[in-house]
Structure formats: C-alpha cells, structure tokens
Amino acid sequence: MLLEVEGLDVRYGRTHAVKALSLQVADDELVTVLGANGAGKTSLLRALQGLVPASAGRIRFGGVDITRMSPPERLRQRLALVPEGRQIVISLTVHENLLMGAYCRSDSDVRRDVEGVYDRFPNLAARRDMPASVLSGGEQQMLAISRALLARPRLMMLDEPSLGLSPLLVERLFDLLRNLRADGLAILLVEQNTQMALEIASRGLVMELGKVVLEGPSEALASNDRLAAAYFGHAAQHAG
C-alpha cells in the first residue's frame, strides 16, 4: 500500500472534523472521497499533507511513518496536494508559480519538466510571464495541477478540483486525471461531483460528519441508494 491511514482524528478546538478515519490507497489506484459540505473532506486532506495536525492516528506513506512530518517533508516524500480553491499565488507570474511547484527539487530536469507543462497547456505558455491573477478558473486549475505535478508526486491529492468549472472544462479535467492515472500516478480525489468521480475511480469512500459511512468499489457505490440518501440529504440541507 502506498498510503495507509489508521484511526485519524482531526480537531479544531471543540469541532471534531475527522473521526477515527482509516483509508488506504495502492500504488496504481484512483480513490475518491465523497461527502456533503462540512463532512470533513478538506480536513482529511489537510491532515494528510500536514497542514493541520492529527490529534490521533497514524499515517504511513510509501512505508514511512509521516504522521509527525511537516508539509515540506511530506512533499519531499512525494505526497502532493492540489488544495481547495486552487491557491494559485496571484502576485507571482504563471511561470513563477510553476517554478514554485518545483521548489522542493534540486535536480536539473526542472526546466525540461516546466517546458513539458507548456507543451501540454498552450494557454499557460501564452500567459507565461503574466501575473497568475489573469488566468480564468479553468486555467488556474490547470496551473494548480501542473504545479503539484512538478513536485513529481507518487500520490496526488485533489480537493474538489471541478468546483466552479463549466461542464466542458470539468470533462477536460476528468480526462486529464484519467490520463495521469493511466501514466501510473496514484490519486486521492475529493469531489462533490459524485457521478463523474465514481466513473474514473476504482474505489470510493463516503464521509458524513467526519466518519466513513460507506466504502467500496465504484460500481457498487454508484448504484447504492444509501449514497444518494446520505449525500444528497446533507447537500440539500446545506444548499442555498
């Protein structure tokens, strides 16, 4: 197993955002975590990257215990996160954002890999030296993903990457994830777009109030009534 999480707890003061959560991702898997607003999905990913401390539990990555490591140390273990809201550095140029993606690297292939990003996304190449704030939502998401990929992760975690994108761009995003997955990258995908996430994932987990309430192969989950009930029940409550 590439990622093994056991009994993970995340607390913010009195809020218990993640409760005794266990989770595993294999080397060549795309696993999706689903759940309504406030279920604790972001808290889970932030704890896995080390941005919030785990108040209990153990995280092993590539056979190494990373539970007490700082976010940069985890990145150097090649665990990367594309955060909620993309978190593009808007006062840096597109190119500088990409260079920041490779900040943790000291090898000489960085230049080649950055050029590879430009080949893949001509839109980014055209705006190379402009402040990243001029990018559209879709371009920002491409930049955020490319930036994470430049750290050469073994596992990439994405927090609701389809949020705010047009249906066409969502389609393109999922194609990209499918390709990355085919190239051998392991992915942990948090999504609200249940149907599409289950289409590309091999397995899924459903979170509710910090706990995993449902887990299994994608096909089984997609046809599970309880998923719809749990998920959309809460989504409806939080909507508006």
Ligand X SMILES: Nc1ncnc2c1ncn2[C@@H]1O[C@H](COP(=O)(O)OP(=O)(O)OP(=O)(O)O)[C@@H](O)[C@H]1O
In the complex, the residues that contact another protein under the rule CB under 8 A are 49-53, 70-72, 75-76, 81, 83, 87, 89-92, 96, 99-101, 103-104, 125-130, 147, 151
- Least CB distance from residue 181 to ligand X, whole Å? 22
Residue 125 or 213: the one with the smaller Cβ distance to another protein is: 125
- Strand 15-25 relative to strand 64-65, pairing: unpaired
Instruction: Please identify, using beta-carbon distances, which residue of 21 and 114 lies nearer to Mg ion.
Output: 21
Minimum separation from the CB atom of position 96 to another protein (A): 5
Q: Are 40 and 5 in contact (CB under 8 A)?
A: no
Q: Any contact of residue 67 with ligand X (CB under 6 A)?
A: no
- Residues 6 or more apart whose Cβ sits within 8 Å of residue 81: 45, 46, 48, 49, 51, 148, 156, 157, 158, 159
Q: How far apart are CA 132 and CA 48, in angstroms?
A: 27
8-state DSSP, 162: T
Asked whether 143 and 127 are in contact (CB, 8 A), the reply is no
Q: Please, which residue, 73 or 84, has the CB nearer to Mg ion?
A: 84
Binding mask 62-101 for Mg ion (x = CB under 5 A): ----------------------x-----------------
Using CB under 6 A as the criterion, which residues of the chain lie in contact with ligand X when the complex forms? 12, 15, 17, 35, 37-43, 84
